Amino acid sequence: MLIKIKKSYDLSENDVTPEQLFRARRRFLNIGAASLSGAALSGIAGGIAGSILSAPARARAAGAPLATSKWSGSTDEAPTDFESITTYNNFYEFGTSKEAPRFNAEGFVTSPWTVEVAGLAKNTGTFDVWDLIDRNKLEERIYRHRCVETWSMVVPWVGVALADIIKRLEPQSSAKYVAFQTLFDPERMPGQKRAVLQWPYVEGLRLDEAMNPLALLAVGVYGQELPPQNGAPIRLVVPWKYGFKGIKSIVKIEFSENEPPTSWNISAPNEYGFYANVNPNVSHPRWSQAKERRIGEFLRRETLMFNGYADEVASLYSNMDLEKYF
Ligand SMILES: Nc1nc2c(c(=O)[nH]1)N[C@H]1C(S)=C(S)[C@@H](COP(=O)(O)O)O[C@H]1N2
Ligand SMILES: [Mo]
């Protein structure tokens, strides 16, 4: 496949997008998505959806608008522009550069999509993603995002509190952790043909972390369904932890008694721990975590303890040595 890969010097990281421009762009994108999904619906009504829509139109129709309510805890920092959020990605299943996923994930089909719930819970089984997530209860939550590589963004996610889903699944009292798994399908995720990580990508949280009101299962960004490169149709967002905890395109959720393995920890245990809390005082073995580069800004910022969410989450770790449990 021939793909156009942007060179890093093409990225407009240093261009400050004027607020009004990005609002206008956002309106345009929403209208575009709405009319496209309208076309898709009339196609389905005629029973010929698959044949009349070109592949790119189908892919874009998947970014249907989502109705959301505002959540009171959003940061008032300026959201990173839609363009950067959806073109500067980490998603190794679709390539290891920042630029590859948006091209390699184009046309990745995320409907229908099921999520298996397993392990120590009452309500195990296989659920359609839209039975797990109630479309009428979606919130827009604007969170800071801090990658372990030291870049950061501000992202207007759409989703539901992970805690609400977990309560419905009714974990047993013996469950102490919850584990997540990404789809394994090398034909659809070509990056899985190379052993850059052990596939499928796996992640996990301690159950009390998962129950923290900030932990989010996201299905959208900027008021529309997630594009595939951002982890469609459902991904985890844990804003006080490094971005790699935010596992994408989830197909399995499992409750367990013991700490589950996690992909980056398997790959380099001395560099990436299970907890991965954002901490400016604990360096990665190969670089400092004290500062970060906010996409769209020129000067580096100070990184904040727990990515600025200490009031909400510090109590989860009050008895822990954060250098040992990094
Ligand atoms: N399955 C899977 N999930 C993943 C990754 C990945 O490579 N595979 N990358 C992680 C990393 S390192 C980051 S920073 C975020 C990036 O999310 P974004 O591309 O939506 O900004 O996704 C995380 N989730
Ligand atoms: Mo990351």
C-alpha–C-alpha distance, residues 248 and 5, integer Å: 22
The domain in which residue 280 lies consists of: 18-315
- Interior CA angle at 104 toward 98 and 108, to 5°? 125
Tens of pLDDT along the chain (326 residues)? 343 333 333 333 333 333 433 443 444 344 334 443 433 333 333 333 333 334 444 344 448 999 999 999 999 999 999 999 999 999 999 999 999 999 999 999 999 999 999 999 999 999 999 999 999 999 999 999 999 999 999 999 999 999 999 999 999 999 999 999 999 999 999 999 999 999 999 999 999 999 999 999 999 999 999 999 999 999 999 999 999 999 999 999 999 999 999 999 999 999 999 999 999 999 999 999 999 999 999 999 999 999 999 999 999 999 999 999 99
116-138 burial, b if ≥16 CB within 10 A, otherwise e?
ebebbbeebeebebeebbeeeeb
Judge whether 209 and 306 are in contact, CB under 8 Å: no
Q: What is the pLDDT of residue 55?
A: 42
Which DSSP symbol is given to 288? Answer: -
- The number of beta carbons lying within 10 Å of the beta carbon of residue 278 is 29
Asked if residue 284 is part of any domain, the answer here is yes
Judge whether 280 and 289 are in contact, CB under 8 Å: yes
Asked if residue 2 is part of any domain, the answer here is no
* CB of 181 closer than 6 angstroms to any ligand 1 atom: no
Phi and psi, residue 315, nearest 5°? -65, -20
* CB of 146 closer than 6 angstroms to any ligand 1 atom: no
Which DSSP symbol is given to 199? Answer: S
Asked if residue 4 is part of any domain, the answer here is no
Q: What is the pLDDT of residue 63?
A: 80
C-alpha–C-alpha distance, residues 139 and 218, integer Å: 9
Secondary structure of 219-234 in HEC code, one letter for each residue: EEECCEECCHHHCCCC
Judge whether 211 and 230 are in contact, CB under 8 Å: no
Judge whether 17 and 296 are in contact, CB under 8 Å: yes
The count of structural domains within the chain is 1
Q: What is the pLDDT of residue 229?
A: 98
Q: Which atom of ligand 1 is nearest to the CA of 229?
A: 19
The separation between CA 131 and the C-alpha centre of its own chain, rounded to angstroms, equals: 19
**What's 99's domain CATH number?**
3.90.420.10
Which DSSP symbol is given to 305? Answer: G
* CB of 82 closer than 6 angstroms to any ligand 1 atom: no
Ligand 1 pocket test, pick from 198, 199, 244, 271 with the greatest ligand atom count within 8 Å of Cβ, gives 244
Asked if residue 12 is part of any domain, the answer here is no
Asked if residue 33 is part of any domain, the answer here is yes
- Ligand 2 centroid–CA 241 distance in Å is 10
Q: Which atom of ligand 1 is nearest to the CA of 92?
A: 7
- Ligand 2 centroid–CA 305 distance in Å is 17
Q: Which amino acid is at 187?
A: E
pTM listed for this prediction: 0.84
- Interior CA angle at 277 toward 271 and 282, to 5°? 55
List the shell of residues around ion ligand 2, using CB closer than 5 Å: 90, 147, 243-244
Asked if residue 324 is part of any domain, the answer here is no
Q: What is the pLDDT of residue 256?
A: 99
Asked if residue 227 is part of any domain, the answer here is yes
- Among 120, 258, 123, 263, smallest CA distance to 180 is for 263
Asked if residue 13 is part of any domain, the answer here is no
* CB of 248 closer than 6 angstroms to any ligand 1 atom: yes
Q: Where are the alpha helices (DSSP H) in the chain?
A: 19-45, 49-52, 55-61, 82-87, 100-104, 129-132, 162-169, 207-210, 263-267, 310-313
